Amino acid sequence: MKIVLIGYMASGKSFVGKKLAAVLGIPFKDLDAEIENQEGKSIPKIFSEKGEIYFRKVENEALKQIISKAEDFVLATGGGTPCYGNSMDLILSQKDVLSIYLKTPLDVLVARLLSEKENRPVVAHLDTEEKLNDFIRKHLFERSYYYNQAALIIDNGNESVNDTVEKIILKLF
């Protein structure tokens, strides 16, 4: 089984993905880590040196390569992955791919991103909690069209990673 986790930045895709993969006994892959390995530099550095358009092209190609493989895995995507190019269509068109949207409340996303925004090039420039809140709210509105196309929608707020994984497992089996 190929599972692709989508959702906004800081929704827990990597944490949940690692735990879910361990429970299912299949490999975990992180799209951002794959891109960093391929490009030889960090995501923030790619953004600053080559810009978002370049990054999105590389991201789409990396996604194609990963989901075309025959092996089972859990893949954590970037927050914007399904919203650019044909990425969501690509995820949805694969018969052996299950997409899961980790739907996280706005207040939880703001709290998480406030403490780690320097590592997130898309929000690093936002200097107040109010600006961050407005930015995320707007983004969630714009991206909800893509996120809500996922085969499964899992609400995850302040519960533990284990609780979120348990919700997914109960939906799978």
Q: What is the DSSP letter of 117?
A: G
Please state, in angstroms and rounded to a whole number, the distance separating the CA atoms of residues 141 and 3. Answer: 24
| pTM recorded for the entire structure | 0.94
Decide if pLDDT at 169 tops 90.
yes
Cα separations (Å) of 152 from 44, 172, 173?
30, 9, 13
Residue 110 · residue 136 · CB < 8 Å:
yes
Residue 102 · residue 7 · CB < 8 Å:
yes
The predicted pLDDT at position 115 comes to 84
If pLDDT is split at 50, 70 and 90, which confidence band does 149 have? very high
Round to the nearest angstrom and report the end-to-end CA distance of the chain.
12
Decide if pLDDT at 123 tops 90.
no
| Tokens representing residue 101 in the block | 């949207």
Percent of the chain past pLDDT 90, that is, above it, reads: 82
| Tokens representing residue 37 in the block | 């390995």
Decide if pLDDT at 150 tops 90.
yes
